[in-house]
Structure 1
Amino acid sequence: MNTKKIKTDNPTMGDVALAAGVAPVTVSRYLNDPALVSERSKQKISAAIKTLNYVPHAAARTLASKRSRMIGCIMPSLDSSLFGRAIEVFQNHISTSGYNLILASHNYDAAKEQEHIHQMISHGVDALLLIGNSRDEEIYRLLQAKNIPYVLTWTIDPSQVHPCVGFDNHSAASSIANYLMDLGHTKFAMISGLVKNNDRAYERLQGVRHALAKRGLSLADDNVIERQFGVDAGRDAFRLLMSRSQQPTAIICGSEPFAYGAIFESKTMGIDIPNDVSITGFDDMWLASNITPRLTTVRTPQQQIGMLAAKYLVAKLNGENVLTPPPLDIEIVVRESCAPPRAPKIAAVK
């Protein structure tokens, strides 16, 4: 590597090219579109950048390539490992194509999400990953007007208007309800996320109601408790449900932290899971297989969502005519938190 005549206090792209023994345009391609550069040249340029401690000027790169090399991701919350699995896979994939991840969260506040979207657009993000499809249509019109590719995740769009990488929340919730009914349960309750501005929570609630109705059962409004997501909310909701004279024999949790809270609270209340009441979760996060009793839950394709969303956006940014995948599969994972309901006690005949 030729670095003798190069000033290393503030190296330029030309200095990197000279040190690597390639043309400056090759360095520019490496920085803006690595797929256009041979593996041998990539290695030489990478070594030169490391040796010279070269840091590209972001504004100059944006002007030259008309791209910021940034992809924005706006999540409902950062206080959860649920989205972390998918986002880690997403980031790893886009980084191999030369893109950086810009992350924000809105805490289930539609106005805050809209503000983040406007900010990211003003800062020139090349594409956006969003969670769910509950938002004002104005947002989609803006993204289309700005020619910014986007993808919605953790959801599907039956109308096929918006590109989605996700699964059918309605069907997934129906599946777990059917599993419990197959065990013999007829007395149900549900701990749900707030359904306003949250299509995933809404579809899961409707999926449970629909499955029960098909078998002549119902989910009373009093037995649906909506809460902000969290373990403490699960504890509170479980305590409320199991303090009533008419207790459910099965509680479906629309989010896994609710189920963890329910299990923790059951120990405080002296309630036996699954013999007194069955509990189910949703997503199969790491604690599900380690809590006692181990949690029966819906396993969602979190890492697959991250990978496919990244592939879709990178392909769109490369000008490819790419389609989103069909709805992804979920799986019911049966563990020890569910059992058939106890037979009613028969009073002794005197």
Structure 2
Amino acid sequence: MSINDVARHAGVSTASVSRTINSPDIVRPELRTRVEAAIRDLGYIPSGAARALASSQTRAVGAIVPTLDNAIFASGISSLQRRLAQMGYTLLVAASEYDLDQEVREAHALLCHGVEGVMLVGEAHAPALYNLLERYQLPFVNCWTYRASSDHPCIGFDNEGAARRLTEYLIDLGHRDIAMIAGVSQSNDRAQARIHGVRAALAAIGSELAEQRFVEQPYGVADGRNGMSELLNRCAQPPTAVICGNDVLAIGAIFECQSRGLEVPAAISITGFDDLSISAHLQPGLTTVKVPSSEMGAKAADFLVKRINGETTLLHTEIETTLIVRGTTKSAVNRVVTT
């Protein structure tokens, strides 16, 4: 594929394509948009970056995460970078903001910088992304997810299974009126899997996650407060327990309960997911699922470098999560509700 192909696809001259690539600021916005769309559609990589990619001389690896605001991703990226540095590689990082189309654009940009491999988060990616990686035979690995039958390499954990075990723990404490503040599930297979895990555990005892006991929120402390407020406003009687899609949502949910005079866990039990470092230092400490982000980052680095060097590697690696029980959960028997 050449610059001529891009020019034909966009209906412009090769000079216009060249200016868009090398000096985009001097190109009319309408023209630049057409050329950039053609580059994305064709998966075109400028010749210099393509030569570097083909010769594997950049010693650079890319990583695309959903967001840089979540400390759990920062931990994994930090571990990935440390391990890559030990092997003489540089890490380039991009964020997709949970937008699958943006993820494709970020992957294309990383390819243009000549990365030799890419770490991704989750398994649900746009077909265009997988096609792009396959076209350039770029080694990649999906992290924060594990499925033994996946068509793609993965290093991670069973999100659905972890959420199910967390729910079963609450059920064993006598909780039946369980609610959930989930992360936004659109374009997020990890959030979807955790929701399925909660529903599956409740279905196993003949119960369900009722519509009025379920909300989705973005991943932020304020969002956790909003989610808890919405749950509490829907019914006169609060749920006995609330499962949150991550620790940040759980922290917000705890703050909202405290502002309403609902003691955690005497009035309501709350759980998180991730085990951020702050979660052990809350009062009370947060019951949560420990996600092995650092281990995933290091293993992803080893996997990518081996694939770059043509070595054989396991395609699917499962890392176990751990239920961490702290002070935000207790038995549902004789709970005290104060307002």
Structure 2 length normalisation: TM-score? 0.81
Match of 2:142 among 152, 156, 161: 152
Q: Which runs of 4+ in 1 moved over 2 A?
A: 61-67, 157-160, 342-345
Q: Is the 8 A contact 1:72 1:120 kept in 2?
A: yes
> Displacement of 1:138 after TM fit?
2.8
Aligned to 1:179: 169
Aligned to 1:68: 58
Q: Which amino acid aligns with 1:274?
A: P
SS at match of 1:190: strand
Inter-partner Cα distance in structure 2 for 1:246 and 1:270:
14
SS at match of 1:118: helix
SS at match of 2:98: coil
- Any idea what the Cα deviations from partners look like across 1:93-147, whole Å, max 9, x if unmatched? 1112221110111111111111101111222211000001111223212212201
Say which one has the larger Rg: 1
Inter-partner Cα distance in structure 1 for 2:53 and 2:122:
33
Aligned to 2:184: 194
Q: Any gaps of 5 or more consecutive residues in structure 2?
A: 1-47
Aligned to 2:268: 277
Asked whether 1:226 is paired with 2:216, we answer: yes
Q: Is the 8 A contact 2:53 2:115 kept in 1?
A: no
Inter-partner Cα distance in structure 1 for 2:104 and 2:54:
29
SS at match of 1:326: strand
Aligned to 2:240: 249
Q: Which amino acid aligns with 2:80?
A: F
**How many residue pairs end up in the alignment?**
287
Q: Which amino acid aligns with 1:301?
A: P
SS at match of 2:242: strand
**Among the aligned pairs, what percent are the same residue?**
39
SS at match of 2:318: coil
SS at match of 1:165: strand
In the TM superposition, 1:1-350 aligns within 5 A as: 62=52, 65-243=55-233, 244-343=235-334
Q: Is the 8 A contact 1:275 1:342 kept in 2?
A: no
Q: Pairwise CA RMSD of aligned residues?
A: 1.9
Q: Is the 8 A contact 1:276 1:342 kept in 2?
A: no
Inter-partner Cα distance in structure 2 for 1:101 and 1:63:
15
Q: Cα 1:222–1:68, aligned 2, differ >3 Å: closer, same or farther? A: same
Q: Cα 1:159–1:70, aligned 2, differ >3 Å: closer, same or farther? A: same
Relative contact order (alpha carbons < 8 A, sep ≥ 6): 1 or 2 greater? 2
Q: Cα 1:326–1:129, aligned 2, differ >3 Å: closer, same or farther? A: closer
Q: Cα 1:104–1:188, aligned 2, differ >3 Å: closer, same or farther? A: same
Q: Which amino acid aligns with 1:172?
A: A
